[in-house]
Chain A
Amino acid sequence: MENLAKQKVIQDLKPQQFGKRGMIWVGILLFICAVGLFAYIRQLSKGLVVTSMRDYVSWGIYISNFVFFVAISLVGSLITAVLRLSDVHWSTPLTRIAEIIAVAAITFASIIIVVDMGRPERFYNLFLHGRLQSPIIWDVIVITTYFFISMLLLYFPLLPDLNILMKLKEKTSKGLDKLYSFLGSFWKNTPGQIKINERAISILSITIIPVAFSIHTVTSWLFATTYRPGWDSTNFGAYFISGAFLVGAGGVVVAMYVFRKAYKLENYIKEDHFDKMGKVLVMLALLYLYFNINEFLVPAFKMKKPEEEHLVGLFTGEFAPIFWFAIFTAMIIPIFILLFKKGRKPLPAFIAGCLVVIGSWFKRYLIVTPTLLHPFLPMQDVPDSYRHYFPSWEEWAIAMGSLAGVLLIITIFARIFPIIPIQETITEIEEHENV
């Protein structure tokens, strides 16, 4: 490969300063985060009474947000591990996008679960008095493991790129340069180092798959290990995993489109990528639809008394609008858009991706709340406010703040590091030319 072409790739992909739009975007995100932080401080001083959660609906949008974050983080393992191991090369430019989504989402999953705690200052009790029998401890263990593996999967492929960035003639800024050399000055691009790095990445790619399955299966078990109608299901693990891959892939499509536009990456994230990711999305949406049919049709066929109230509430009752909205926006409409070749062009694929992500967020809400409103014994001897649930402004602010936090991490990461792997792109072009 000519040096000139190589320089062009580096120039195209090196991190760029925020433009005016970038600054506004970061400003908005920071503002939403600040509002969320303010709401959390209120919650800390007054207690969880500022939320709309009460004794019956004891878990609300914090927990559904947690499930959403864990779900979306699974895409890191899908794109970087599953596709890498099956020797799929077209996904290379997408690996870092997927991995930073995973890291950002899993970080905020941990934060939001602390936000939901009545006594966050006693978090250390999990280590001091942890009981291995409790699914929460399983979740703590696998999420921590997943976080570190994801961090390493983000870091190791970054090493050759850091080397490239440090060699750049025009320095970006002193601070960034220090950061690059702190993170990667030991990397000399020697064949030995490259070999070790490749081995490390492939070992991590293998290990992350069972861990990724574990995080979301265990998260589903937080619900499925209880007796409650709507949660008491053996289908839950697979149902959660399939939904997680779907929302994660949807998130990647959205991020692809935004980065492509913002950083003018048309030569790297090509229409072909949208076409292929579109097909992946269709497959995942069909898979999730299949598990949804299992989850709802089988109990609905029998209509056992405790299930009946819950299911009728979803199908035709109080939650029917959200239920059908989620089913259509997360699965059916995206399937119809992406089945057609024209639908897999960047813009329609982006719209389909947005629909998947939004629909999936509401789907998580439906997994948590309606079940809690249909206990075995009827709701009794409680104030009227205990019988309904609509999140308070503090809950919305904190939930939106956490979503903005994820976007902020991704945005800042893309400002500091190349969002498309430079070295891997160069290597692939070279390999392509040699063929």
Chain B
Amino acid sequence: MNTHDTSRREFLAASLLAGAALAGCNTKNPFEKDAAEMVNPSGEMVKLLSVDGEVIEIDKAFLKPVPHLPAVSNDAARLGIGNKKFVMVIDLSRCKSLKKCQSACNHMHHVHPGQNWIKVYPMQDAEHTAPYWQPTTCMHCDEPPCVKVCPVDATFKRQDGIVLIDSDRCIGCRFCMAACPYSTRVFNWEEPEMEPEIAAQPYSCESSVPQKKGTVGKCDFCPDMARKGELPHCVSACPNGVFLFGDMLEDSVTNGAETFRFSDLIKDKAGYRLMEDLGTKPSVYYLPPVNRNFPFENAETKEEAKKS
């Protein structure tokens, strides 16, 4: 994630600089009023590549380091993003257990090998009912049992509906894991293996990276991506558009390719939530596995198909 991030930042920085440089080349100097007043040209010129592919020269004094995206403070991360209520819809009729969601999530969050934040269950509710694939993320419940039991407020519910973990505060009692009926939480039983540059990143509960030994982890709905206006990794990784993510207050959810009105989608396709009877009020909705894009295939059914 880090390499990706820095290259992205470098790109941003370069284009910003190029923009500034271009502006500087214009006959009408926009720096005349404000910037030029503050900056004394050093006389030393540097060559830059503009967005048009032109090589231009600019006074070194105009170059300024572009600050990194401002880090979200712990207080802001605990408060959440204002005027949002994040929601996810998982369309079971589209899932064929490719698990691209899982691998993208594991990769971006540096989940310990063998552990997963997203699980894809082969489900069959009763003997004569149809089997289907059921991916689960954290349900980001509105009545989260995990938050209720946490003794130190290390896991908390934000105003935008997301349930997060503060790994700098977690004492590792694992009461939340016992309390969660969806078995969504994992524990860092040992020192997480990470490349040094990832381990050196400043921790934020919005990115959940770097993971910390002796603390609990789980799906975080990627609030760091939401802040950038981007979709969670599982949503963008799924080639079948199983995951739809959005804001309930805007009443829209999207998988990147298609966008739906959330309320209509749930109404038309009879959306439901898992274990409604427990009263946890999840933020993740499921669309039933009807009119499926793919037949249900796992190792067993494949073998049966071969035999016949």
Contacts and interface: CB of A to CB of B under 8 A. Distances in A.
Interface stretch (A50-58, A159-167, A235-243, A355-363): A50-58
Of the four ranges (under 10, 10 to 19, 20 to 34, 35 or more), the interface on chain A belongs to 35 or more
A428 B46 CA distance: 101
Contact of B177 (A58, A119, A128): A58
A116 B173 contact: yes
B174 A125 contact: no
A381 B102 contact: yes
B183 A134 contact: no
Interface in A373-426: 375-383, 386
Interface stretch (A82-90, A186-194, A223-231, A254-262): A223-231
A425 B100 CA distance: 76
A125 B152 contact: yes
B149 to A, nearest CB: 5
A118 B151 contact: no
Given A118-B188, A126-B152, A375-B183, A55 B145 contact: no
Interface in B113-161: 114-116, 119-122, 136, 145, 148-154
A210 B153 CA distance: 28
Contact of B213 (A47, A376, A383, A386): A47
Contact of A226 (B119, B178, B189, B215): B178
B271 interface: no
Interface string B225-260: 000000000000000000000000000000000000
A376 B183 contact: yes
Contact of B214 (A55, A119, A136, A227): A119
A46 B190 contact: yes
B175 interface: yes
A3 interface: no
B181 interface: yes
A119 B120 contact: no
Interface of B is mostly: loop
Contacts of A53: 189
B165 to A, nearest CB: 12
A56 B183 contact: yes
Contact of B145 (A126, A226, A383): A226
A135 interface: yes
Of the four ranges (under 10, 10 to 19, 20 to 34, 35 or more), the interface on chain B belongs to 35 or more
Interface in B179-194: 179, 181-183, 185-191
A56 B188 CA distance: 13
Contacts, number: 136
B95 interface: no
A51 B187 CA distance: 13
A225 B214 CA distance: 24
A377 B115 contact: no
B23 interface: no
B169 A129 contact: yes
Contacts of B278: 227
Residue with the greatest number of chain B CB neighbours at <10 A, chosen from A123, A134, A379: A134
B22 interface: no
Contact of B185 (A55, A122, A228, A381): A55
B149 A225 contact: yes
Contacts of B173: 116-118, 136
Given A225-B179, A376-B183, 16 more contacts: A47-B191, A48-B214, A55-B187, A56-B183, A117-B171, A117-B214, A123-B171, A125-B169, A126-B152, A129-B153, A130-B152, A134-B151, A375-B181, A377-B136, A377-B183, A381-B102
21 contacts: A47-B190, A47-B213, A48-B214, A51-B189, A54-B189, A55-B115, A55-B187, A56-B183, A119-B214, A119-B215, A122-B170, A126-B151, A126-B171, A225-B149, A227-B145, A375-B181, A376-B182, A377-B119, A377-B183, A379-B183, A380-B120
Q: Pick the 10 closest A-B CB pairs, nearest first.
A: A118-B172, A118-B214, A49-B190, A136-B151, A49-B189, A134-B151, A47-B190, A125-B152, A381-B119, A58-B174
